[in-house]
A and B are shown apart, each in its own frame.
Chain A
């Protein structure tokens, strides 16, 4: 058993590494298990700082067994990725708690490289990458510390140097070594816990607005169209009296899907979307969208669906066609479904709608405008914290009593009223608006931008958007929810944490936008650097070469670089011994003394010579003695020749050489 140096530093660093790793995957693990892991870290920290003994093997092993039971019970077997990550971290932490020998620590340090990498399973943001990179540096330093007697600072410097040296090669390989399609895929961990749901229950979207997670970014090819942006994601066409659902017919249609929708009109505009990983396959587009991306399916309703790889981000180009050009489905059954409403519920609203329809002489278009007017003039208000609805006829209560609600309330009420007078209507959920980044001209859409609205089919006009929220709270249409001062207070109180909370302070908002921008660059340049992008880059660089040829060239280049470096290293150097910097200064002084006629005897030590010179040059005596002091401090006492001493030495020589003014 060999004794490890720097035990305290090693233990502290490893504990810190694990605490930070845990902080990143905190949301992935159950609370009880998280607490257990953090407890282990703190235990190890305490043992290290208080210089207590490590727990004996029996105790630690028993605890490890118990923790494993907690792990299986708490995390469960359904999500194997999380289970194995949890198991890896648990075992590393117990090993750390028991470690005594060099070999133990080496094993743990190697394991923590894996533990660090598991963070990328859950988060690939720029922030996470930065922190993980720092932890990599620390971990390398620990690995070095186990074998050396240096302190942590020197080890960190060493590992930083090592990683910086490795950086150009890794970037080179990342850019140019052709990527091979993955042979296996992670069983999808539950990535987005928030997101649109298949059913619109007016309470769901308030939940959504709690989250400031990014959903997607959109970049327009040319001029961006004027707002509002209704990013359609899901169409809900079935109402069960309370909730809007996706009907089975629609689901069946989506399963069949159409890869290319033949829409007669010219596309209005095209744009690129970078979508984050999501739990559901819905993608986002304006009006009627269509995409030719091989992993994206276009439905006949102009919606986009993701075919596979939900767990990774996706970037796709889409074209938008005018919504009006969509046909009312030929299928009668489908039409019926859209007109279908729960006949027995919300009778008050039904009656009211019918009366209003009669008043407008059963004109669809007039009814459309009348309904807008009704919502605008009858004391409705927009809020993210609506009063609870107690009645079973939820829409009635909302329409006539509460009159306070958010998009879900307005959308389902409006769609219900359209349907009750026989106008085809459906609830569409998706996102509204987005935050525009001027600098790089892209829109960022967050979970809190989630929105629901109504699409109605007006004869002779086609599908129209009816958004009652727009008349109740018009500013909701332009830009993102966070940009409205009116809603801001309510909104931020709803929002748990983040810079967004501070976005009404100009400085913080500026900072947030800058960080946003960085994150956008990161996503589009690093995370989005996929096989296709690389292929086009390689094509530009190498022309039409085969992939294996390119691989060979890249690998050969790297090998050549290494070989050249090793040849350079082993090249015989000129034998002149490297002189200490202070020795050079001393020799300058000797030179000067010789000019003054003070010649060193052969066996004179530097200190003797300086003493002799000081006697011969009484007016320079102070300086020469100071130089002698400096010389013995640096050369014999082995104090570091730092910048202060370097300057001191230069100054002394200058003072000695300058002639005295008489």
Chain B
């Protein structure tokens, strides 16, 4: 299985140059059954990454471009009157696929944004009093532009909390950008080899949950979380859901790293991605504050 994981990372690196860390973090998120939010400036490769992820994992995916006039029924589906049978039948929307790529999620209004909410948390859609289960596995990979850009509706905290991780790609290294300029970029993610199928992905998710979380590591997570609760420099303290996410993400990271146990180093690696969007930090100072946090909390021995 380790071999497959490495192959997936290599495949994705063929599409996104020089961003191995971000690719691994994205996989970490999917292996821990979490939804992924990719936030960055336009033109940084967010959509490319999300498409490539869905393709390489062999999952069925649908893309929804969020705009300000997008309606909930455009995502969930709607009931349409069938003249032959004289009754309404439910036509499933794009949300009924294993991966939903919500492009520029913060361009849509709050009503539409929250239509995704039930789907993300409950893995089902309620329409006209009927419940429709979503396929398994089910991921939402959303991209968003930074909030200071015009024409955006910020996602409320409750909704942000439902994203397991938030990653940003950042500017590419010089060499990678040189390749891009020279037109060597490979956006042909449809032709990426499919390395695993849905069953294998579920198997991986199961394996990840058996990775050993030893006492010092759990102590470390607890210390980090309680630091945000005691210290009032954070707008939102970390919730228990965040603590759980830290543990899970560390397990998945260890798995990708080829270990069957978690070390405090894993926690440090995934810490920013898991907590940054939940803490409600000011964009300019977030990195500095997180560094401060990691510095102040001593690692349990």
Contact = CB atoms under 8 A, between A and B. Distances in A.
Same assembly: yes
Interface of A: 579-580, 583, 586-587, 602-608, 632, 635-638
Interface in B213-228: 214, 216-217
B261 A637 contact: yes
Interface in B133-154: none
A603 B294 CA distance: 6
Contacts of B217: 636
Nearest to A609: B299
B301 interface: yes
Contacts of A580: 301
B255 to A, nearest CB: 14
B301 A608 contact: no
Given A632-B263, A636-B261, A603 B214 contact: no
Nearest to A611: B265
List of 3 A-B pairs having minimum Cβ-Cβ separation, nearest first:
A605-B264, A637-B261, A636-B261
Contacts of A607: 263-265
A632 B295 CA distance: 22
A606 B260 CA distance: 18
Given A635-B216, A637-B212, A637-B214, A603 B261 contact: no
Given A632-B261, A636-B263, A603 B268 contact: yes
Given A602-B296, A636-B212, A586 B301 contact: yes
Contacts of A605: 263-265, 268, 299
B119 interface: no
B297 interface: yes
Contacts of A636: 212, 214, 216-217, 261-263
Contacts of A604: 299
B212 A602 contact: no
A583 B261 CA distance: 18
Interface string B265-301: 1001000000000000000000000000011111101
A87 B297 CA distance: 67
A606 B216 CA distance: 11
A638 B301 contact: no
A637 B261 CA distance: 5
Interface residues of B, number: 18
A197 to B, nearest CB: 73
Contacts of B261: 632, 636-638
> Mostly helix, strand, loop or mixed at chain B's interface?
mixed
Contacts of A586: 301
B231 to A, nearest CB: 15
A340 to B, nearest CB: 93
A603 B297 contact: yes
- Most chain A CB inside 10 Å of its own CB: which residue of B214, B260, B294: B214
Interface of B: 212, 214, 216-217, 260-265, 268, 294-299, 301
Contacts of A606: 264, 299, 301
A607 B217 CA distance: 12
A602 B295 contact: yes
Contacts, number: 46
A636 B263 CA distance: 6
12 contacts: A580-B301, A583-B301, A602-B295, A602-B296, A605-B268, A607-B263, A608-B265, A635-B216, A636-B217, A637-B261, A638-B212, A638-B261
- Most chain A CB inside 10 Å of its own CB: which residue of B261, B265, B297, B301: B301
Given A579-B301, A603-B298, A606-B264, 14 more contacts: A580-B301, A583-B301, A602-B295, A603-B295, A603-B297, A606-B299, A632-B261, A635-B214, A635-B301, A636-B216, A636-B261, A636-B263, A638-B212, A638-B214
Nearest to B299: A605
Nearest to B294: A603
B105 to A, nearest CB: 33
Contacts of A635: 214, 216, 301
Nearest to B298: A602
A250 B3 CA distance: 100
- Most chain A CB inside 10 Å of its own CB: which residue of B212, B260, B263, B294: B263
Nearest to A608: B265
A637 B260 contact: yes
B250 to A, nearest CB: 11
Contact of B299 (A579, A603, A632): A603
B237 to A, nearest CB: 20
Contacts of B212: 636-638
Nearest to A583: B301
A608 B214 CA distance: 17
Contacts of B265: 605, 607-608
A530 to B, nearest CB: 56
A594 to B, nearest CB: 15
Contacts of B260: 637
- Most chain B CB inside 10 Å of its own CB: which residue of A587, A606, A636: A636
Contacts of A587: 301
Contacts of B294: 603
B29 to A, nearest CB: 22
Contacts of A583: 301
A587 B260 CA distance: 25
A404 to B, nearest CB: 81
A215 to B, nearest CB: 64
A579 B215 CA distance: 12
A636 B296 CA distance: 22
A635 B265 CA distance: 13
- Most chain B CB inside 10 Å of its own CB: which residue of A579, A580, A605, A632: A605
B288 to A, nearest CB: 14
Nearest to A605: B264
- Most chain B CB inside 10 Å of its own CB: which residue of A579, A587, A635: A635
B208 to A, nearest CB: 16
A579 B268 CA distance: 23
A225 B151 CA distance: 120
Contacts of B297: 603
A147 to B, nearest CB: 24
A608 B216 CA distance: 15
Contacts of B296: 602
A604 B296 CA distance: 11
